[in-house]
Amino acid sequence: MPLLEVKDLYLYYRTTRGPVKAVDDVSFFVPEGETLALVGESGCGKTSIGIAILRVLPVNVHLYKGTILFEGNDIMKLNDEEFRRTIRWRKISMVFQGAMNALNPVIPVGLQVAEPLIIHEGMDKDEALKIAMEALESVGLPKIVARRYPHELSGGMKQRVVIAMALIMKPRLIILDEPTSALDIITQANIMNLLKRLKREHKLSYIFITHDLALASEIADRVAVMYAGEIVELGTAEQVYLSPKHPYTQKLIAAVPTLRTEKKLEFIPGEVPSLINPPPGCRFHPRCPYKKPVCSKVRPKLIEVEKDHLVACHLYE
Ligand code: SF4
């Protein structure tokens, strides 16, 4: 049984121009101890999947439905209070994109890390702070950092604080939304190594959200490629990187620069479609070099092209 199984998930946002179909019938699973990388261009719905799983929804939700099984239980059936008490941060936590810039500037970071223990567990402040210091140590920061304010820390240190916050309730699954995108390359490498170590030591599972395929290859066991609110390819990291099947995945990989070869970098013509009026049929068809007449009419379903390797493309039907 996978730790997390998402089936037929939809999340649409209400706008004056019509619903934005950010997550449109998405299914995947995350086995215990594995990392699923969710990759795709900006605006394809990756972050929306994260907030749908953690149920931190904005007020303009138009449609939110599907099945989310965690440890075998359908957590979509829990009411908001039950979800807050039993799942959010306790079982599933998230490192939000840009969260390090959202730390409260007038509260020492140790107290910010300890806050869930005080609120969820009813711990007294001193006890919670002691555990927060241990969490800070586990992410490679000295205990003394607990007394510092965010402006006294570097970007890399702040990101470690945010990761300590996500770890504090000992969750089994952490959703990491572009956790290194605001960091310089050396700090990025250090944070990636930290995430790998934490995963090993705490037997964590991750959903790693990124637009950076090369970065995802560092940590992913499996990869889901998203395009315009849908998953178009899903497989092991080896399958997706070494033998990509969907034309969009092939183009994305061809656009990644490499040091050792002189390959000509490709680009994908056109732009990501509007999620209010996505193209009919295959949403990639206006940009696809292999499109057939059927592509603009019928939405391709995810089908298995080899064991554990799923692709939504009419070329494989
Ligand atoms: Fe291209 Fe058609 Fe496949 Fe879409 S379904 S990726 S348009 S070949």
pLDDT tens readout for residues 270-279: 888 999 999 9
Between residues 122 and 4, the one the model is more confident about: 4
Q: What number does the ligand 1 atom closest to the CA of 288 have? A: 1
Using the mean position of ligand 1's atoms as its centre, give its distance from the Cα of residue 269 in Å: 14
What pTM, to 2 d.p., does this model score? 0.94
Please check the confidence at residue 157 and state whether its pLDDT lies above 90.
yes
- Tens-digit pLDDT profile for residues 145-155: 999 999 999 99
- Please report, rounded to a whole number, the percentage of residues in the chain having pLDDT higher than 90: 85
pLDDT of the residue at 284: 97
HSE-up of 199 (CA within 13 Å, CB side)?
A: 22
C-beta pairs of 82-86 under 8 Å, 24+ apart in sequence: 83/55, 85/120
CB atoms within 10 A of CB 258: 9
Task: Write the CA distances from 291 to 282, 287, 317, integer angstroms.
Answer: 9, 9, 13
Q: How far is the CA of 290 from the centre of ligand 1 (A)?
A: 6
**Is the per-residue pLDDT at 220 higher than 90?**
yes
Is ligand 1 within 6 A of the CB of residue 291?
Answer: yes
To the nearest 10 degrees (0 to 180), the angle between helices 125-138 and 155-167 is: 120
Q: In this predicted structure, what is the pLDDT of residue 61?
A: 97
What's the pLDDT score for residue 121? 87
For ligand 1, atom 7, the nearest C-alpha belongs to 285
pLDDT in tens, 76-114: 999 999 999 999 999 999 999 988 888 999 999 999 999
Classify the C-alpha dihedral 137-142-147-148 as positive or negative.
Answer: negative
The band of 259, judged by pLDDT with boundaries at 50, 70 and 90, is low
Considering only residues 181 and 223, tell me which one the structure prediction assigns the higher pLDDT: 223
Gap from CA of 288 to ligand 1 centroid (Å): 6
Whether the predicted pLDDT of 73 surpasses 70: yes
What distance separates the 2 farthest-apart alpha carbons in the chain?
Answer: 67
Most confident of 5-19, 92-106, 108-122: 5-19
> Can you read off the two tokens belonging to residue 102?
């959202």
Show me where the domains of the chain are located.
4-91+171-316
CA atoms within 13 A on the CB side of 100: 22
Q: What is the pLDDT of residue 264?
A: 73
286 membership: H or E segment, kind and range: none
Q: What is the pLDDT of residues 167-177, one digit of tens each?
A: 999 999 999 99
CATH 3.40.50.300 holds for 4-91+171-316? yes
Mean pLDDT score of the chain: 94
Q: Using the predicted structure, report yes or no on whether residue 49 has a pLDDT greater than 80.
A: yes
Q: Tell me how far CA of residue 116 lies from CA of 109, 207, 300, in angstroms.
A: 13, 21, 43
Torsion angle, alpha carbons of 308, 313, 316, 317, to 10: 110
Q: Is 48 in contact with 38 (CB distance < 8 Å)?
A: no
